[in-house]
A and B are shown apart, each in its own frame.
Chain A
Amino acid sequence: MDGGSILETIGVEIIGVMSPVSICMFLVVLIVYTLSSPSSSDNQQVIRTAANLIYLESSSDTTAQKLEGALLNAVVFVVLITLVTFLLVILYYYRFTNFLKYYIRFSAFFVLGSMGGSIILTLIQHFNIPIDSITFCLLLFNFTILGVISVFSQGVPILLNQMYMVALGIIVAAWFTKLPEWTTWVVLVALALYDLVAVLAPGGPLKMLVELASSRDEELPALVYEARPNVSSRSGSRGPNLGLLLAGFSDGDPIELRVMSSSENVVQNGRVVSEMRSESEEIDDVREVEIEGEMLPLMGSSSSNNERERPVVNEDIRESNESDRARVLEREIEEEEERGRGIKLGLGDFVFYSVLVGRAAMYDLMTVYACYLAIISGLGCTLILLAVCRHALPALPISIALGVIFYFLTRLLMEPFVVGTSTNLLMF
């Protein structure tokens, strides 16, 4: 049973998306927990950001005032985001791609350097870590620069890129949790609605952006988490070779080539996976059919190259005997299956999931856990829908809706029940 059961292959890509989201949420919760617990008593400085331009919440206001102000804030925030997104679409339409890329690099620099730096500073103060300012600046600068480099260049390992994406998500989310409570909830709901419209409605800015990018066969000029598996952790000794090979090919070129060869050097099959296509298509069924189709040219006839295949010789793989070859092919297929399935998740989704959980963390651990489960299951539903619909889907609405519902259900219903029973040491 060296092939293993199907339990190991099913759901790899879902976990590939879920685990970074979980890590991001977990770290945000930790940050919120450590930073908010001592200072919760004194009224901390409310910062003014784009999300609370109109109204600054203070605890003495009435509920109606809070609600009204929060609604106004949310409307302004969403309008701002819409405008910016349209601006991005226009820039992208007129092919200011480099401008966009440099802008995004700059914003990554800014986020990592100043916002991340200030969070790290607070943490240092909180834990009384002895560090001098020169070392700190040097380390922060290096950290930031590496992050900026990793944003759009394909040369860096995918793991590094993923780590920096998660880091960016954590930093932005940690800042968003400083918003006042009512504004947070209303903004979250408004953003979920906005996401729904922007991705699905005809003429929605995100839909236009995705379609443009896929029609040009280009990478989306945005901060997007790619759930391509990092090869080294998964496959055996040959993994790193393949990873290098891949990185070499995809350098400066959005098209990925997959290489397959055998000792007889007859069967060559390079799959072209356009980056954008992989966002919108596939999780399960579709892909399996394709793989079945691909088994045929691999195992059987050598001449049946269709237009998607390109002959690229891979010198590294030289397997002599037949059984080895079969095994290698099988493995290659598996890897290909994994690699092709790069589900992409916008960084905004990371951020707002984490904001929700971080906000829940300010209440109790129980709500954190309930919200986490709700968001993750919402994400799972979205991914399943993705497999069915096969075009770009908004990741926020289902998760945020479930998260908000579970938060309030837990807070209003479950908490008194659980606390009531378990302080009597009754459990079941």
Chain B
Amino acid sequence: MTVAAGIGYALLALGPSLSLFIALISKKPFLILTLLSSTLVWLMSLIVMSALWRAFLPLKTTAWWPYAILILTSVGFQEGLRILFWKVYKKLEDLLDAFADRVSKPRLFMTDKMQIALAGGLGHGVAHAVFFCLGLLTPAFGPATYYVEKCSKIPFFLVSAIIALAFATIHTFSMVIAFSGYEEGNKVDQCFAPVVHLIAGMLTLTNLAFGGCMIGIPLLYCVAIVTLVHCGKMAWRRLIESRNREGNFSNSQ
């Protein structure tokens, strides 16, 4: 029973990512490599952040502002890393195109680029879910559960799995949005990812208040849904545009 509960928590946090992985990523080796390297980058960012904050932890105060600073710095660092990730990816894309020319295969399609972005985002999301939820899940397989004082209605593992799911969604799709924003030079999309990330991080501050998770988690899911819808709209628009462009191209020939 407890094993079932543990697996259930894990699947709750990682199920959608897992199905994305199986349906899309696992068929293309390059995407798996992207996923792994993006996860590694995220892990390293986490290690760097924890090294910076190591001296101050554990925070003894009950005030919320040190945590706010913590989240602010972490999000800032990770968003900086996202830009770096984009630059590296840009170089890689040139290499891939050159390679495709050499083996006389088509260059990267627009969908390919989006898939790479998705794999990168999924890496971020998976790393988040694994380290913040799955890493703490070991006791959940045992014969008891754990409640946090501040959110006493729901078991801690369930709450963290639910939050991890929201964050995995946000990370996965905001990477797609950010990459397309960088590519098109669209300022709104470029700023979308950091802003959403920051809002989501700040929303978890509500969990510090008693019963705050009842408000924070629905809001967090609103943010996740906004991200999803925005990403869907953007992908739809770009697909239509590229199809029109192809249509024009073949008409003009």
Residues of A within 8 A of B (CB-CB), count = 44
Indicate whether B191 reaches chain A with its CB closer than 8 angstroms. no
- Is the Cβ of B74 less than 8 Å from the Cβ of A428? yes
Binary per-residue interface labels of chain A (125-149) against chain B in the complex, 1 for a CB within 8 Å, 0 otherwise: 0000000000000000000000000
**A5 CB, min distance to chain B CBs, angstroms:** 5
Q: Which residues on B sit within 8 Å (CB–CB) of A12?
A: 29
In the complex, chain B residues 75-131 whose Cβ is within 8 Å of any chain A Cβ:
75, 78, 96, 99-100, 102-103, 105-106, 108-109, 112, 115-116, 128, 130-131
CB distance from A330 to the nearest CB of B (A): 10
- List residues of chain B with CB within 8 A of the CB of A307: none
* Complex interface: chain B residues within 8 A of A419 (CB): 136
Known: A10-B30, A364-B138, A417-B53. A424 touches B67 (CB 8 A): yes
Residues of A within 8 A of B78 (CB): 428
A7 and B103 contact, CB distance less than 8 A: no
Q: Are A428 and B200 touching (Cβ within 8 A)?
A: yes
A-chain residues with CB within 8 Å of residue B235 when the two chains form the complex:
none
Q: Is the interface of B mostly helix, strand, loop or mixed?
A: helix
Asked if B151 and A15 make an inter-chain contact with CB atoms under 8 angstroms apart, the answer reads: no
- 18 interchain pairs, CB-CB under 8 A: A5-B106, A5-B109, A7-B28, A7-B30, A14-B33, A366-B130, A373-B39, A414-B50, A416-B58, A417-B50, A417-B53, A418-B131, A419-B136, A421-B67, A424-B150, A424-B207, A428-B167, A428-B200
How many residues does chain B have at the interface if contact means C-beta atoms less than 8 Å apart? 67
Q: Does B59 contact A (CB under 8 A)?
A: yes
- Cα(A421)–Cα(B29), bound, Å: 35
Q: Which residue of B lies closest to A361 (CB)?
A: B138
Taking Cβ atoms with an 8 Å cutoff, the residues of A that contact B are 1, 3, 5-12, 14-15, 18, 288, 291-292, 364-366, 369-370, 373-374, 376-377, 380, 406, 409-410, 413-414, 416-428
Which A residue's beta carbon lies closest to that of B58? A420
Which residue of chain B lies nearest to A10 when distances are taken between CB atoms in the complex?
B30
Q: How many angstroms between the C-alpha atoms of A137 and B170 in the bound complex?
A: 52
Q: Once the chains bind, are B105 and A3 in contact (CB under 8 Å)?
A: yes
Residues of B close to A373: CB separation below 8 A: 36, 39-40, 43
> Which of A15, A370, A418, A428 gathers most chain B CB within 10 Å?
A428
In contact, A11 and B46 (Cβ under 8 angstroms)? no
Contact B131 A380 (CB under 8 A): no
Residue ID in chain A nearest B206 by CB atoms: A425
Residues of A within 8 A of B7 (CB): none
How long is the Cα–Cα vector from A283 to B59 in the complex, in angstroms? Answer: 49
Residues of A within 8 A of B99 (CB): 6, 10, 288
Binds A, one of B158-166, B181-189, B226-234: B158-166
* Complex Cα gap A1–B246 (Å): 14
Question: Using Cβ atoms and an 8 Å threshold, which residues of chain A touch B108?
Answer: 5-7
Which chain B positions have C-beta within 8 A of A417? Answer: 46, 49-50, 53-54, 57
Give CA–CA (A68, B135) in the complex, Å. 33
- A423 with B148: in contact, given A6-B96, A417-B54, A428-B197 (CB under 8 Å)? yes
On whether the beta carbons of B32 and A11 are closer than 8 Å, the reply is: yes
Interface of A is mostly: helix
Q: Does B156 contact A (CB under 8 A)?
A: yes
In the complex, which residues 162-211 of chain B have their Cβ closer than 8 Å to any Cβ of chain A? 163-164, 167, 197, 200-201, 204-205, 207-208
- Contact of A292 with B102 in the complex, beta carbons under 8 Å: yes
Contacts known (A365-B137, A413-B47, A413-B51); A427 close to B102, Cβ less than 8 A: no
CB closest residue in chain B, given A369:
B130
Pairs A-B, 8 closest by C-beta atoms:
A417-B50, A366-B135, A428-B201, A425-B207, A11-B29, A15-B29, A7-B30, A414-B50
Mark interface residues in B130-152 (1 if CB within 8 Å of A CB, else 0).
11111111100000000010110
Instruction: For the complex formed, measure the closest distance between the CB of B157 and the CB atoms of chain A, giving whole angstroms.
Output: 11
- Contact yes or no, A369 B134, CB < 8 A: yes
Give complex CA distance A373, B115 in Å: 21
- The residue among B30, B59, B128, B133 with the most chain A CB atoms within 10 A of its own CB is B30
A7 interface neighbour in B31, B39, B128, B134, Cβ under 8 Å: B31
**Cβ-neighbour of A427 out of B27, B43, B109, B164 (below 8 A):** B164
Do B204 and A15 touch (CB < 8 A)? no
Pair B135/A416 contact, Cβ less than 8 Å: no
A366 touches B151 (CB 8 A): no
Question: What is the chain B residue whose CB lies nearest that of A367?
Answer: B135
CB distance from B14 to the nearest CB of A (A): 12
**A422 & B29 in contact (Cβ 8 Å cutoff):** no
Provided the pairs A366-B135, A417-B54 are in contact, do residues A425 and B49 lie with their beta carbons within 8 angstroms? no
A residues less than 8 Å from B109 (CB atoms): 1, 5
Neighbouring B residues of A291 by C-beta, 8 Å: 103
Q: Is the CB of B148 within 8 A of A425?
A: yes
What residues on B are CB-neighbors of A5 within 8 Å? Answer: 100, 105-106, 108-109, 112
Closest chain-B Cβ to A275's Cβ sits at a distance in Å of: 23
Q: How far is the CB of A15 from chain B (nearest CB, A)?
A: 4
13 A-B pairs besides A15-B33, A422-B136, A425-B150 with CB distance below 8 A are A7-B115, A11-B32, A14-B33, A373-B39, A376-B36, A377-B37, A380-B33, A413-B54, A419-B136, A422-B160, A425-B204, A426-B204, A428-B197
